[in-house]
Chain A
Amino acid sequence: MGGKVSCTLGEVKNRADFILYWGGNPAECHPRHFTKYTIMQKGKFLPEGRKGRTMVLVDIRETMSVKAADIFLQVRPGKDFEVVTALRALVKGNRVDTALVEETGLKLEQLQDLVDRMKRCKFGVIFFGMGMSMTRGKHMNSAALLTLAAEMNAFTKFVAMPMRGHGNVAGADMVLRWTTGYPFGVNLCRGFPRFNPGEFSTVDLLVRGDIDAAFVLGADPGATMPQPGIDTLARVPTIVLDPKVTHTSKLARVHITTSVTGISSPGTAYRMDEVPLPLRPVLKSPYPSDEEVVRRIIAAVEKKTAWLPLPATMASGVM
């Protein structure tokens, strides 16, 4: 089995002499990534910076990031899983069928060369983007890639990390984990946390229309959800907290304008490597912060009579 073998970004900066980006376009989507954390940085053990590092890019098409790469491997769309599986076999020294590899758009020699480089490096890292985890195969692709990184540790140091985006998604993930035990897709309707991605994830609930109110904070589902989900948001009372007008705020029943966290109100953001950063306001805003609005809503709700008629204890299941 795999798991997740990772590190904070400073380790990449200080040590990574082999950097593989898979299914992402950091040059455009994470514009500071190359310069701040990875290929362009001089590190404690890489005083020569860019020259000391090999960068490989795997993607289905040529993007702006290709220019930054030493090696570009163009995979046929939907064939990521097959490529990773072939790599895992080659890493273990197993025979791989040439014809099967060619279906992916790559040649066996290219993969063997990649594996040789991976084994030769002192510290390898794989960053994988949405192109990998959101296409055919979905979480199976990420799982295979994470397993590849884990297995590489039998030969040399290797880590892997998803390229996450969307503001403070890592922060939301962290808080959900320590309060509910699960990172996302959590349902609290029974008074305790249940987890089932595919059933309780936001997109599933919205598409099925299983909700009768929506509270949207730091996201714009009206821009990204499938149409049936958007229809649900328009049908039910939707409340949006956002500094600006968004697709979601336009279809919401209530839009409360809040100050921008990190510019006008303080807070904490978690980096994609799950390192917390304090946010300090630099400007004043006439609007309240998200936190203040949420607190006031909680205070108002608490004035209502409790709806849970349960005794003060409850333990079910097995310890």
Chain B
Amino acid sequence: MLRITGGKVYDPANGINGEVRDICIADGKVVANVEGGRTIDANGMIVFPGGVDIHTHVAGAALNFARALTPENQRVAAKFMRTKDTRMGIGGQTPTTFATGYLYAGMGYTTVVEAAVPVLSAKHTHEELRDTPIVDKACCLLMGNNELVMDLLELGEYEKAKHTVAWLISAAKTYGIKAVNPGGVAAWKFGKDAKQIHSPIDGYNKVNPGTIIANLAKIVDELGLPHPMHLHCNNLGVPGNVSTTLETMKLLEGNRAHMAHLQFHAYGGDDWHTMRSESVQLAEYFNTHPNLTCDAGAVLFGNAVTITADGPWQHLLYQLTGRKWGNLDVENETGCGIVPYTYKGSNLVNAVQWAVGLELLLLINDPWRIFLTTDHPNGACFWRYPEIIHLLMHADIRRERVRALPEAALSRIYLADLDREYTLYEIAIITSAGPARALGMKQKGHLGVGADADIAIYNQNPDGELMFRYPRYVLKGGEVAVEEGEIRSTKDGHEFVCQPSYDEKIEDYLKPVFQQQYTMSFENYPVEAERVHGMQIAECSYKKPN
């Protein structure tokens, strides 16, 4: 039992905006009242629901590949010493699993979504998540280039495709699905890409990226998955890609969708020399289409490692940068590419990217539909979120930073014209309440009675960066996980999975196709339930409003 008293509470899901009130906790949940137990005096502090990261890359084959590819990053990264309560590890661009848990919790984040999991290596992802302490977890299954599904769509077999998707989600023990460069990664298997939404994908007559996007969004809604289709659009990172993004959004009218790392999809211009921000145009469309949510995928200057299932994009980035390139194509399902990258304030393209991320966060007027992410570790590391919060809260500091950009960048961005400053209430929305709602996690992102007692308490400070970087207390499941900058409890979190229902006859169809196209036996393919540590099955109860 525990009581937090005297703090200003920011609980947007329940409309509480900085009121001083007590939060009571028993058995890991927020309750109406408690007698006895510990009291945390939160005078002069602010009380937030624990952060929820809706899109990050912290575990699995791709990230582990990146770790091996960049030992030079690990060498200069923060070190985590083994202690009585904590395991050793390394922070930096691609933190080790134990360090990932400590770093997220140490920042007040208590739920994270690993955004890119192939079925074939899902066992590995779950093993890593098991070794990621404190935080609760969920993952998205890579689906936009699954050839089993694409082949069915080519044959016009929508129902079979739907049952296949449901079977694959159940087999991989994931929470939702993500489509990455739909069709483009499949085409990359023969060195091609898919740049036009409405042109058939290499090797197909009927299926184009648009077909995949529209059908998957519909499938997710019909299966009742709590989280909409998570979508990484075609032409990520390419000048002029805003037209692809807008075309894609139009395909989604009538269904839900979550647009991942929107910053990387909001560019105008014809080439790298004329690239410009199209955040205004994109935000205008987005603001009038409530079926969509998005995350920022903001960029900060400094070192990053780009990791994505978008194989063709990574090949281009390798050619542009001349740096190391990792690629791993996954049979019948997806791919992955890794290129270390440095965002420089003096580089015109990077300056535009930096501005676009912030612009979208400021121009999309409903904070319940845009969430704070950096597409870690693509745009910047997750542990740099407080830097972004600080910029969102202060227009003058943003303008000062804009002045340091190359002259040529100024006419290509809108950032200096934007006066909006985020309130603490809005910060609580984009870091916690909003993503929890978009994920359909009813027990997360708020502090009402019955909520999971995942709570971050910060010393109130005009410097947003300082305030959010070092929480005074972090509670996870009602236990004090972090106190005064020290990890106090490392109890493992849960992993949330969905098990949408499917027609069991689909296995009769899948089995022979599988034996032909895969290299392991069908029986070895699904992830065993025992492998998912602290598994909690979430309901598939979403219903499309009429």
Contact = CB atoms under 8 A, between A and B. Distances in A.
Nearest to B123: A276
A277 interface: yes
B485 interface: yes
A3 B520 contact: no
Contacts of B517: 10, 14, 44
B81 A191 contact: yes
Contacts of B147: 44
Contacts of B487: 312-313
A181 B331 contact: no
A8 B120 contact: yes
A56 to B, nearest CB: 20
B103 to A, nearest CB: 10
B383 interface: yes
B329 A11 contact: yes
Interface in A275-305: 275-278
Interface string A36-62: 110000001000000000000000000
A117 B8 CA distance: 70
Contact of B520 (A5, A153, A275): A275
Contacts of A306: 84
Interface stretch (A76-84, A154-162, A228-236): A154-162
A82 B319 CA distance: 24
B520 A180 contact: no
Contact of B78 (A36, A157, A183, A319): A319
B89 A180 contact: yes
B510 interface: no
Given A44-B517, A317-B79, A6 B327 contact: yes
A315 B470 CA distance: 14
B123 A278 contact: yes
Contact of B85 (A6, A154, A193, A312): A312
A44 B322 CA distance: 33
Nearest to B332: A10
B324 A314 contact: no
Interface string A1-20: 11111111111011100000
Contacts of B338: 3
Given A2-B324, A5-B326, A153 B80 contact: no
Interface stretch (B66-74, B134-142, B280-288, B433-441): B66-74
B323 interface: yes
A99 interface: no
Interface in A153-196: 153-154, 156-157, 159, 173-174, 177-183, 188, 191-193, 195
Contacts of B190: 15, 122-123, 157
B507 interface: no
B519 interface: yes
A150 interface: yes
A131 to B, nearest CB: 23
A5 to B, nearest CB: 4
Contacts of A317: 76-79
Contacts of A122: 190
Contact of B325 (A2, A157, A183): A2
B315 interface: yes
Given A156-B191, A177-B64, A319-B91, A192 B79 contact: yes
A308 B189 contact: no
Interface in B424-481: none
A115 B271 CA distance: 33
Contacts of A319: 77-78, 91-92, 383
Contact of A182 (B65, B71, B80, B124): B71
B318 A192 contact: no
B519 A3 contact: no
A181 B96 contact: yes
B131 A7 contact: no
B124 A276 contact: yes
A122 B192 CA distance: 11
B86 interface: yes
A190 B188 CA distance: 44
B273 interface: no
Interface in B326-343: 326-332, 335, 338-339
A316 B90 CA distance: 10
Given A181-B94, A318-B78, A5 B327 contact: yes
Interface in B166-210: 188-191
B81 A4 contact: no
Contacts of A274: 61, 65, 121, 124, 328
Nearest to B312: A153
Contacts of B88: 180, 188, 191-193
Contact of B328 (A8, A174, A181): A8
B38 interface: no
B98 interface: yes
A153 to B, nearest CB: 6
Given A36-B519, A192-B81, A310-B83, A180 B191 contact: no
B421 interface: no
Contact of A181 (B90, B128, B329, B330): B90
Contacts of A173: 68
B68 A177 contact: yes
Contacts of B319: 154
A36 B123 CA distance: 22
Interface string B368-405: 00000000000000010000000000000000000000
Nearest to A315: B78
Contacts of B80: 192, 314-315
Interface string A121-164: 01100000000000000000000000000100110110100000
Interface of B: 59, 61, 64-65, 67-69, 71, 74-92, 94-98, 120-121, 123-124, 127-128, 131, 147, 188-191, 315, 318-319, 322-332, 335, 338-339, 383, 485-488, 516-520, 524, 528
Given A44-B517, A192-B88, 7 more contacts: A10-B519, A178-B64, A188-B88, A195-B71, A277-B520, A314-B80, A319-B91
10 contacts: A6-B329, A7-B327, A8-B331, A11-B330, A193-B74, A193-B96, A195-B75, A312-B84, A312-B487, A319-B383
Interface of A: 1-11, 13-15, 36-37, 44, 122-123, 150, 153-154, 156-157, 159, 173-174, 177-183, 188, 191-193, 195, 268, 270, 274-278, 306, 308, 310-319
Give 7 nearest A-B pairs by CB, closest first: A10-B331, A314-B81, A7-B329, A3-B325, A157-B191, A192-B79, A3-B324
